[in-house]
Amino acid sequence: MVWMNEHKRVWRGGVLVLLLAAIRGPWTFDVIYVPSKYVCSAPFIRLEGNFCGIPLSGIKLLSTMAGGLTNIAGELVAGTTMFSDRFGELLFCLLGLVLILPVFSTLFLILREDSRGWFVFHIAALSLAFGTSLLFATFNYPKLFWELWGMWLYVGVTASALILEVVMLAARRRLKLKSDGIDEKYQRAERNSQNDHTALRGKRSNLDFR
């Protein structure tokens, strides 16, 4: 635990590398209709029923979500669509963009370890990203998890990073409480020593007076 506290930049750098690797990996499928009596030609694979798919990376998926969010915002500003009509799609795009937050929060903590406000944001970002990615992975062809290893790697990395950060926070608080307790004992002992010294001087003064 002491090593992890002293080398936060090292293991956070490892988390950042794994997050980027996960985002570069496959997250979902680009689906096409192919009747089950036909064979899916490589690189497409058979998914379910009459559908085949080719894996898409997290980068491609997130960029598509960002583009969709931009288009929806433009249509809402122009008044060509209603908010209620695009609410589901808008929410999906926003949840998708949550998945990129841990990358920036981890990078910032590597550069500025002493930022308490950013650390709280980092914990929140990891929590949201883990929950969103787990939900997304669970409903996104879970039987083909090995094909979507990037998505599941992301789930594992965010969960592990969240656990590490919470454990480190708890350890720092225990260490602070212990340090405060030692300081309080030292101050109490020092006060007692001063009181004893004052009492001793008082006794000596009484003896001299006699």
Question: What is the average per-residue pLDDT within 1-13?
Answer: 74
**Residue 148 CB partners (closer than 8 Å, separation 6+):** 25, 26, 27, 28, 29, 55, 137, 140, 141
Eight-class DSSP state of 52: E
CA distance 46 to 97: 29
pLDDT tens for each residue of 143-160: 888 889 999 999 999 999
> Is the model's pLDDT at 190 over the cut of 80?
no
Which pLDDT score is estimated for 75? 79
Which of 35-44, 53-62, 84-93, 150-159 shows the lowest per-residue confidence on average (mean pLDDT)?
Answer: 84-93
Instruction: Give the number of C-alpha atoms closer than 13 A to the C-alpha of residue 105, restricted to the C-beta side.
Output: 23
**Residue 200 CB partners (closer than 8 Å, separation 6+):** none
In this structure, what token pair is assigned to residue 131?
A: 């929950």
